[in-house]
C-alpha cells in the first residue's frame, strides 16, 4: 500500500506531539474517537550507536504497528543512520514512515534536526534520497513552510518531489515563528495547486468548522490535527458530520470527563508511579481552551493524588 489511507478517502490524522501523544493516548483515541491515522511522537535516530533506535522504543512500536494505521515519525540528521533506522522499523512490521522537518526545537548533540534541516537544502535532499531508497512502504515528510522565509517552500517543493516522497504534511508557519502568529492556509491552498503530491493540512485546526472549511476551500487531501484534537477529542467525528459541530458547556464537561476517565487508568499502568501519571494527565489539561472550564481545570491541576483528582473530576465534570 503506497499511502496509509484508501484511495478516494479523506484521512483525518492525529498529529504527533512530543511528550503528549504517547502510546496510551493514541490507543485511547483509536478506540474512542476514531482518527484514521495516528503518528508516534518523534523517534530519535542515533548516529553514534549501532542500535539506531532505542531497544525499548523499537519494541513498543513493533507491539503497536498492527493495531491500526500507525506512522512512525523519525527525527535525525544522518542519511545512513536514518536509512538503517528505516530498515529496522520495516523489519518489525512498520511500513509507514515520516521524517520530521518541522520541530522548532530539533537539535541533537551531533547537529541540526527537525526544522533546522531546512537551512541546508542540499543536505536535506541527500537525507530524503537515502530514506526513499530504503523505504518500501509510504514515506512522507512533516514540514514548516520555511526556516525564516514563509515562502521558502516554493523552492523546497521540487526537492521533495524529486526525492520521491508520497505525501506532504504542511504546517504553514516558519520554524522561527514556532507557534506564534497564525498558520497561513492561503499558502497551503497555493501549494496544493502547485504539486501533484497529496498535501495534508496541519496547524490551527481547532474546530470542526475550520477543518471542514479547509477541506472545501484548499482541496487538501486530508487534515492532521494536534492541539485541536486534545481540546475536543470528538473533532474527527464532527468534521465527518457524524456528530454536531458545536456543543454546549454541559456536553463539553461530559466529554472532558470521559476522556480523562479513560486516560488516567492507562497512564497509571504506563508511567512509573502515580505522580508521573498525574503530571502527564495535567499536560493534556493544558490544551483545554474553554474559558468556562478553566477554574475547575486549575483545581484539577493542583491535586496531588489520583483519588483526589478523580473525586474532583467527577464532582465538577460528570453532570
pLDDT at 17: 93
Residue pLDDT, tens place only, 32-50: 999 999 999 999 898 776 6
Range with the lowest mean pLDDT among 59-73, 243-257, 295-309?
59-73
SS3 202: strand
pLDDT at 305: 96
> Where do the structural domains in the chain lie, given as residue ranges?
12-240, 249-317
pLDDT at 240: 97
pLDDT at 293: 94
Q: CA dihedral in degrees (59, 88, 10, 234; nearest 10)? A: 20
pLDDT at 65: 75
Neighbours of 1 (CB within 10 A): 11
> Is 319 among the catalytic positions?
no
Q: If phi over 0 gives left and psi between -120 and 50 gives alpha, with beta otherwise, what is residue 144? A: beta
Burial of 120 (0-12, 13-18, 19+ CB in 10 A): middle
Domain 12-240 grouped into CATH 3.40.50.1450: no
- Length of the chain equals 319
Asked whether residue 110 carries a pLDDT value surpassing 70, the answer given is no
What is the pTM assigned to this prediction? 0.95
First-residue to last-residue Cα distance in the chain: 45
Tell me if 208 sits within 8 A of 245, measured CB to CB.
yes
When pLDDT is cut at 50, 70 and 90, the band that residue 63 belongs to is confident
CA 12, 286, 263, 41 torsion-angle sign: positive
Catalytic residue among 28, 103, 143, 163: 103
The closest of 35, 13, 26 to 234, measured between CA atoms, is 35
Residue pLDDT, tens place only, 198-214: 999 999 999 999 999 99
Residue pLDDT, tens place only, 5-42: 999 999 999 999 999 999 999 999 999 999 999 999 99
Determine the Cα–Cα distance for residues 36 and 123; give it in Å rounded to an integer. 33
Tell me if 75 sits within 8 A of 42, measured CB to CB.
yes
Task: Quickly list DSSP for 169-189.
Answer: EEEEEETTTTT-S---HHHHH
Amino acid at each position: 500500500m503506497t499511502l496509509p489511507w484508501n484511495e478516494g478517502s479523506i484521512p483525518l490524522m492525529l498529529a504527533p506531539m512530543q511528550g503528549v501523544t504517547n502510546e496510551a493516548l493514541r490507543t485511547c483515541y483509536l478506540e474512542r474517537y476514531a482518527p484514521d491515522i495516528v503518528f508516534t511522537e518523534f523517534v530519535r535516530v542515533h548516529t553514534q550507536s549501532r542500535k539506531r533506535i532505542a531497544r525499548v522504543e523499537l519494541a513498543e512500536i513493533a507491539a503497536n504497528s498492527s493495531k491500526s494505521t500507525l506512522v512512525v515519525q523519525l527525527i535525525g540528521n544522518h542519511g545512513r543512520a536514518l536509512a538503517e533506522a528505516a530498515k529496522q522499523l520495516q523489519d518489525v512490521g512498520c511500513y509507514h514512515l515520516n521524517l520530521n522537518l518541522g520541530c522548532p526545537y530539533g537539535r541533537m548533540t551531533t547537529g541540526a534536526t527537525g526544522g533546522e534541516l531546512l537551512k541546508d537544502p542540499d543536505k536535506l535532499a541527500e537525507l530524503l534520497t537515502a530514506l526513499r531508497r530504503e523505504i518500501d512502504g509510504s514515506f512522507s515528510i512533516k514540514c514548516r513552510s520555511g526556516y525564516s522565509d514563509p515562502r521558502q517552500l516554493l523552492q523546497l517543493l521540487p526537492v521533495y518531489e524529486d526525492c520521491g516522497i508520497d505525501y506532504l504534511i504542511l504546517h504553514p508557519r516558519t520554524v522561527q515563528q514556532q507557534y506564534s502568529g497564525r498558520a497561513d492556509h492561503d499558502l497551503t491552498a497555493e501549494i496544493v495547486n502547485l504539486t501533484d503530491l497529496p498535501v495534508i493540512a496541519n496547524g490551527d485546526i481547532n474546530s470542526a468548522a475550520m477543518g471542514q472549511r479547509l477541506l472545501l476551500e484548499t482541496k487538501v487531501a486530508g487534515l492532521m490535527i494536534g492541539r485541536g484534537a486534545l481540546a475536543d477529542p470528538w473533532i474527527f467525528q464532527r468534521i465527518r458530520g457524524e456528530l454536531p459541530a458545536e456543543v454546549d458547556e454541559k456536553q463539553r464537561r461530559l466529554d472532558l470527563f470521559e476522556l480523562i476517565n479513560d486516560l488516567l487508568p492507562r497512564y497509571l499502568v504506563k508511567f512509573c508511579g502515580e505522580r508521573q501519571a498525574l503530571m502527564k494527565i495535567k499536560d493534556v489539561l493544558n490544551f483545554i481552551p474553554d474559558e468556562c472550564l478553566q477554574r475547575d481545570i486549575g483545581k484539577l491541576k493542583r491535586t496531588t493524588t489520583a483519588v483526589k483528582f478523580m473525586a474532583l473530576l467527577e464532582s465538577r465534570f460528570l453532570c
